[in-house]
Amino acid sequence: MDHLSQLKDTADKITSMEIRGAGRIAKAAALALRDYVESLEVGSIGEFNRHIENAAKLLVDTRPTAVSLPNAIRLTTQYTSSDVYEAKEEIINNAERFIRQANDALRKIGEIGARRISDGDVIMTHCNSNAALFVITTAFEQGKDISVIATETRPRRQGLLTSKHLLDYGIPTTLIVDSAMRYCMKKVDTVIVGADAIAVNGALVNKIGTSQLALAAHEARTNFLTAAETYKFSPNTIHGEFIEIEQRSIDEVLDRETLADLPELNVLNPAFDITPPKYIDLIITDVGAVPPGMAYTIIKDHLGWEVSEIV
Ligand code: RI2
């Protein structure tokens, strides 16, 4: 397979969710750009720029919600040289740096988040978040006797991936259907989920059902944490932009036969929802455990975007 086909293959895998999870898609995009650039043979910097723009667009268009994707692509494709060879080197270095820092961020989030987990805690998590799992497994490796309640996470049932991962570590895990989250909340000490995006006001965009989980935790006075690398914060939201909620195929919800039996049925399949900052106790990032009100500072200090730059 040539490198453009490989790039398209990565884009298709992100769209179909064969590669999924906000962090994983960001790293896959950075890697795809690195490999693409390595093989790119062009005659001029103008041609090079056009190829990079097209490649970036192909990747960024795959999934609209997880801001990790445009952030990773922007950080990877920032180059200053007008010499093709040097510009290539810059992109390759950027991609490798992004992947290295993203992996390091997970380790730091694990360390910081594990301090919020006590011996004997019951933790509830939703969907399948690498960042949230790093917190849970780090706490377990520190010798804390913990157990986890994992929500199934319809329609794609990522809760099964989470359960398998935790069981492989030897962490006692119970799977529940999503609608049992409030019923089971009374047993829970801490809820921890991942993040597809954090807006400038500290609102969390994460897998559909997260906002219900946050409400149930709030009502029960249970801690609600989200684990988010700094590249999951959305710079565009300081420009007043909304974060688009991805609507996925209804085939994920019902099989074709059932749909054929109910031709007049409308089915919706929003992939994400928004949890207001007032329901979030802490955001566990790689630069510290911060309240949602610090989102702007993270965007400014760690992504380099400021309100003053807006024209
Ligand atoms: P990590 C996932 O999205 C889930 O919503 C999860 O909470 C979030 O990405 C963050 O995952 P999807 O790709 O980056 O399953 O922490 O739609 O792995």
Q: Which amino acid is at 10?
A: T
Atom 9, ligand 1: residue with shortest CA distance: 21
pLDDT at 122: 98
| pTM attached to this predicted model | 0.95
Q: Is 208 in the pocket of ligand 1 (CB under 6 A)?
A: no
In angstroms, the CA 62 to CA 42 distance is 26
How many Cβ atoms are within 10 Å of 25's Cβ, its own excluded? 24
Q: Is 71 in the pocket of ligand 1 (CB under 6 A)?
A: no
Mean pLDDT score of the chain = 96
Question: What is the chain's length?
Answer: 311
**Alpha-carbon distances of 130 from 5, 54, 123, 133, 219, rounded to whole Å:** 28, 29, 15, 5, 27
H-helix or E-strand spanning residue 273: strand 272-275
pLDDT at 306: 77
Q: How confident is the model at residue 36 (pLDDT cuts 50, 70, 90)?
A: very high
**Catalytic-labelled residue, pool 121, 178, 196, 286:** 196
Catalytic site includes residue 196:
yes
| Kind of pairing between the strands at 122-125 and 197-198 | unpaired
**Catalytic-labelled residue, pool 2, 12, 121, 127:** 127
How many Cβ atoms are within 10 Å of 170's Cβ, its own excluded? 9
Q: Is 127 in the pocket of ligand 1 (CB under 6 A)?
A: yes
3-state DSSP assignment of residue 304: coil
In angstroms, the CA 60 to CA 14 distance is 10
Q: Is 131 in the pocket of ligand 1 (CB under 6 A)?
A: yes
How many Cβ atoms are within 10 Å of 308's Cβ, its own excluded? 6
pLDDT at 309: 60
The residue whose two tokens read 């054929």 is 260
In angstroms, the CA 276 to CA 161 distance is 27
**Ligand 1: nearest atom to the Cα of 22:** 14
Interval 110-129 mean pLDDT: 98
Q: Is 210 in the pocket of ligand 1 (CB under 6 A)?
A: no
pLDDT at 310: 57
Handedness of CA 134, 139, 141, 147 (dihedral sign): negative
Q: Which residues contact 181 (CB under 8 A, 6 or more apart)?
A: 124, 126, 151, 209, 212, 213, 216
The string of pLDDT tens digits covering residues 237-291 is 999 999 999 999 999 999 999 999 999 999 999 999 999 999 999 999 999 999 9
Catalytic site includes residue 184:
no
Domain annotation for the chain: domains and CATH numbers: 3-104 (1.20.120.420), 109-310 (3.40.50.10470)
Q: CA angle 162-26-99, nearest 5°? A: 100
Residue from 129, 230, 283 to probe ligand 1 pocket by mutation (most atoms less than 8 Å from CB): 129
Q: Which amino acid is at 271?
A: A
Is the distance from CB of 255 to CB of 223 less than 8 angstroms?
A: no
Q: Is 129 in the pocket of ligand 1 (CB under 6 A)?
A: yes
In angstroms, the CA 2 to CA 262 distance is 44
Answer whether residue 1 shows pLDDT above 80.
no
Q: What residue spans of the chain are helical by DSSP H?
A: 3-16, 22-39, 45-60, 68-76, 84-114, 130-141, 159-169, 181-184, 210-219, 256-261, 295-303
